Every structure is written in C-alpha cells, then in structure tokens.
Amino acid sequence: MQYLIGEDRLAVGPDDPADTVVAAVRAWVEEHVPVGWRDAAGRGGTAAIREVRSRSDYEAWYPTFARSGLVVATWPVAYGGLDLSPVVARAAEEVLRPYNLGRLNPLGLNLVAPALFAHGTEEQRQRFLPPIVRNDELWCQLFSEPGAGSDLASLATRAERATSTDGSDEWIVTGQKVWTTWAHRSDFAVLLARTDADVPKRRGITYFLLDLHQPGVDVRPLRHIGGEVDFNEVFLDRARVPDSQRVGEVGDGWRVANATLSGERQMVAGAGSGGVDRIGGSGVGHLLRLAPTRLRDDPVARQEVMRLYSEERIRDWTNQRVRAQLKAGRPPGPESSVGKVHQGSLNQRIQLMATNLLGAGAMAWIAESPEAESPDYAASLPHEVRGMLRSRANTIEGGTTEVNKNIVGERVLGLPREPDPWQDAPWREVPRS
C-alpha cells in the first residue's frame, strides 16, 4: 500500500475507512518513530520512553510528526492536517497513544487556531496555522491585565490606527498585560486591545495577532511559588500590528476572544493540568503507581483514590465533547467551562493526595535541598510537590472558578445574567481599580 504523499505525509483522506487509516498510521510509525522509542513503549510505557527520549530529542524529531498530518488530523490538508472525521482521527490516535507523541505549541493549537477557524481570513489561516502545527512559531495570549483579570472586558490596553512607512494601515498598541504564559518563549501573541473608549466595554475591543520580536515589547518573567517560570508580565510601548493581522471586525474582539477563551478552558481542564514542563502534576494513574502497598493496606486511602479516579473519568468524557468541537474547526461551547470548574478543584485534590501518599518524603526537600535559596531550586523538588504547589493556581488561571460558574449558570442552566450597573455605559465612564 502506498501510504505517503511526498516524504512524510499520509496519503489518507476523509473518504478512507478507519481500517485503511489505521493501517497507514501503523506503517508510518514503523518507518518514522525511532526504534528506541518504540521499544521503550513496549517495555515500560510512558515512563520508559522518557528514559530514552529527552525533550530536545523530541523537539528535533517533531517536524517529521508535523509533516505526517497526524498532529491535527481533523484539520484541512491546506493547514497541515488530513481532513479526517473525528471518529477516524480517534482511531488513528489510538495507534499513536502508546508512543506518547504529545503536541508541541499547545497555546497555538488550542487558543489561536479556534479563533482563526471561526473568525480569521483565509490568508490569516494559510499564514499562521501551518507554522503552528510545525512548532516553528510559538504563541502566547495577551489578555489579562493588572486591573482586568476576572473582568477581562474592562481591559485598558489601547490600540490606535496609524499608517506605516509603506502606506499600509496599522495599529499602535500601548499598555500592560500580566500572567502571560510562555511569553518569554513565544514569537507571536493573540492580543486584546481597546480601540473605542466611547462604547460599552465589550463593544470597544479588537483582537490582534502581535509579533513579539519588535521594539516596544518588554517581557518580564514572574516566578512561581515552586521556583519555576512560565508566567510573565508584558509591557507594550507603541508596538505595531499591521491591520492585516486584525482578526474579525474592529470592535468585535470580545466575540472573537470567546473562541480563544473556550479553547483555553478546555486546555487547562486535563489531568495534571496547569503549567509547562509537567509542573501541573500527574493524573490519578500516577497515584496508583506511587504507593501500591499503602493503597492495598489502607482502605481509606484506596477509597479516596477511587473517588478521584471516577471524577477524572467524568472530566475526560466532558473534555472529549469539547475536543470534538475543536477538531471539527468549531469553537467549543460552555462545556469547556463545565470541565474547567470541575478540573480546577479536582487537580488540587489529586496533587494533595500525591503528597499525602509520599508522607514525610513530601517535606524532606525543604531541609535537604542545598539550592533552596536559588531561583532554580524548583528542579530539586519532588514531582509530586511541584504539582501540589502549582495546582494552587488551577482555580484562578484560565478564568476563575467563580467566573466559569457564572458562564455555566447563564449559558447552560439559563439563569439570569449577573447584575452589572455599568453594562451599557461607555468604557471611559466605568470605574476601574
């Protein structure tokens, strides 16, 4: 069977049955996944793979994965996918699952892509989606501000129309953003900025794609309680955005942003979610491996782990509904907020249980680590302790639990909107901190 087009992309499409696609994926794995990784998967699963495959190894190999189309199998071929149906794509993913082929550039895939599919132009999709799939251009999100977190629509960063030196339309952006995940690693950002201060706050916002490698962009890291860095504050001082990198109509950015926000809530609603480099902790499966003797002999601990396992399965089923929307190129609905509300507290309880199962070992690092005063001391923490510390943010990031409960109440249960006396007032008249 001829299963490749060109060097690496699978020669399958939307009309091929699942068994044909599965056979093609298996053949691709045999030819393109390094034999050492495949042997490790068969020998010991994910843990064994990590022993033989470093992060840098995976990043160097990743373009091969991207060229196959399997990174985003349901996306159209023009954007780096295979145009498979969600059902067939899931069958292909089952073949890949043992090899732990995670997707790089998750903010690009989960935050930027939904907005471009729903509201972007064809030129924008052609320009930005393929590099996201290839991990060539990394993305972050410039939404939250010091005075606009839970009430994001009150943001104050301004974008003003201008004309560039070549005569084209552009925007000049000035303001401050905060809690920006991975800004220090990123090439581009999705940006919300106020373009009209004389209309109600949600109607004067516009959505942009900002190049971070330019004068006027200052990224400053913010260190976590565990010592690591993945958040940043970003200062914008007359940064420039071509009008061709505006997504949606001027003043319609709030509607465009909802596609990004739904994707974000889904992304931070997975097992061990909340952070880069696995600092969010692991799922319930790790608890089962962490202390098998304790779980065998302690019925209380065993019952608690089974409770967490059951909740994790429910969360996964909810997320599957959201992922089906994203893979079909449609923005997810309020299901993403349901998953976010559930997972915020669930992951905190999972990580606390991990430290409980560790017992005294969860505290030993404080006294024993010679690097406790170093900004890099996070590397000395047990994985479970890092996860527990990082999980404290789960009920805040990606929209607080309180905000997401409002979304569920209003959009799922049909409850009245929360009263807002400034709902229809011009933004410049609304009190701000």
SS3 33: coil
Q: Please report whether residue 320 resides in a domain.
A: yes
SS3 276: coil
**pLDDT given at position 340:** 78
Contact 255, 248 (CB under 8 A): yes
In this structure, the answer to whether residues 166 and 223 fall within a common structural domain is yes
Among residues 251, 281, 299, the one where a domain terminates is 251
Among residues 195, 220, 251, the one where a domain terminates is 251
Q: Please report whether residue 406 resides in a domain.
A: no
Q: Please report whether residue 429 resides in a domain.
A: no
In this structure, the answer to whether residues 222 and 299 fall within a common structural domain is no
**pLDDT given at position 5:** 52
Domain CATH number, residue 134: 2.40.110.10
In this structure, the answer to whether residues 46 and 138 fall within a common structural domain is no
Domain CATH number, residue 336: 1.20.140
Give the torsion sign (CA, 70, 71, 76, 80): negative
Query: At residue 86, does pLDDT exceed 60?
Result: yes
List residues with catalytic annotation.
Answer: 264
Q: Please report whether residue 128 resides in a domain.
A: yes
Query: At residue 129, does pLDDT exceed 90?
Result: yes
What stretches of 243-374 adopt beta strand conformation (E)?
Answer: 246-247
Render pLDDT for 64-77 as a digit per residue (tens, 0 to 9): 999 999 999 999 99
Q: Count CB atoms within 10 A of the CB of residue 101.
A: 20
Lowest mean pLDDT among 161-175, 262-276, 360-374: 262-276
Query: pTM for this one?
Result: 0.79
- Name the band, by pLDDT with cuts 50, 70 and 90, for residue 420: confident
In this structure, the answer to whether residues 158 and 236 fall within a common structural domain is yes
For residue 422, CA distances in Å to 147, 199, 257, 265, 269 come to: 16, 11, 21, 26, 31
Domain range for 79: 4-103
- Name the band, by pLDDT with cuts 50, 70 and 90, for residue 328: low
Mean pLDDT over each residue of the chain, to the nearest integer:
86
How many domains in the chain? 3
Contact 37, 53 (CB under 8 A): yes
**pLDDT given at position 285:** 87
In this structure, the answer to whether residues 159 and 208 fall within a common structural domain is yes
Contact 305, 287 (CB under 8 A): yes
